[in-house]
Amino acid sequence: EDTTLLQSINLTTGAISEPFKDIKDQYGLPFHSRITSAKKINEEDLLMTTLFEGLYIFNVRTQQLFNYRHNAADPATIAINSPHLIETDNNGWVFLGSAPNGVSYFKNHAAAAQQVIFLDKQGNGYDGFVNAFATLDNDTYYLAGRGVLLEWKRSTNTTKFINYTVE
């Protein structure tokens, strides 16, 4: 029997609730995953990354729970079932950092896309851990990885490596 339990604690009142106790995802399965990070991305949607069960989106208004997982044969799925970092831009795009490598991104519950290898015109490549995102204009993104800083233009899928060493 699965005894995994998600509890919510109101820090003001001390009240404890179980927000997903009777909620099932789009496949009729109960929520029983270990959450690794969570972020409310708009007034209605809460994103939760999990240790091995992919990504969950919970709609607060409708009480619907959606689970998105990796499928090795489908590039329109998230890159891995243990995403860890959630970032958003102001146009509604959601980016998930994934270990050991890559980025998954989507907008408005649409099919996900993944980018696990970043290459520049000189043939330099990066396929490692992405641990931070920032955007300049909702098309040009800066990604921090293991010892690298990348400028990635999503619309053209072009990458530049940025030298940030201090001498």
Strands 140-145 and 149-153: antiparallel
pLDDT for residue 64 is more than 90: yes
pLDDT for residue 27 is more than 90: yes
The overall average pLDDT reported for the chain is 86
Report residue 1's pLDDT band, with 50, 70 and 90 as the boundaries: low
Tokens for 120, please give them. 């520049």
Specify the pLDDT at position 150: 92
Alpha-carbon distance values, 87 to 79, 90, 114, 115, 165 (Å): 15, 10, 14, 15, 25
Which helix H or strand E contains 113, and what residues bound it? strand 113-115
Q: What is the mean pLDDT of residues 61-84?
A: 88
What pairs with residue 67 in β-bridges? Answer: 56
pTM: 0.73
Specify the pLDDT at position 147: 83
Specify the pLDDT at position 122: 92
Specify the pLDDT at position 2: 56
Tens-digit pLDDT profile for residues 104-121: 888 877 777 788 888 899
Report residue 39's pLDDT band, with 50, 70 and 90 as the boundaries: very high
**Phi-psi sector, 159: left (phi>0), alpha (psi -120 to 50), beta:** beta
Specify the pLDDT at position 79: 86
Give exposure, 9-19, as e/b (b: 16+ Cβ within 10 Å).
eeeeeeeeeee
pLDDT for residue 3 is more than 70: no
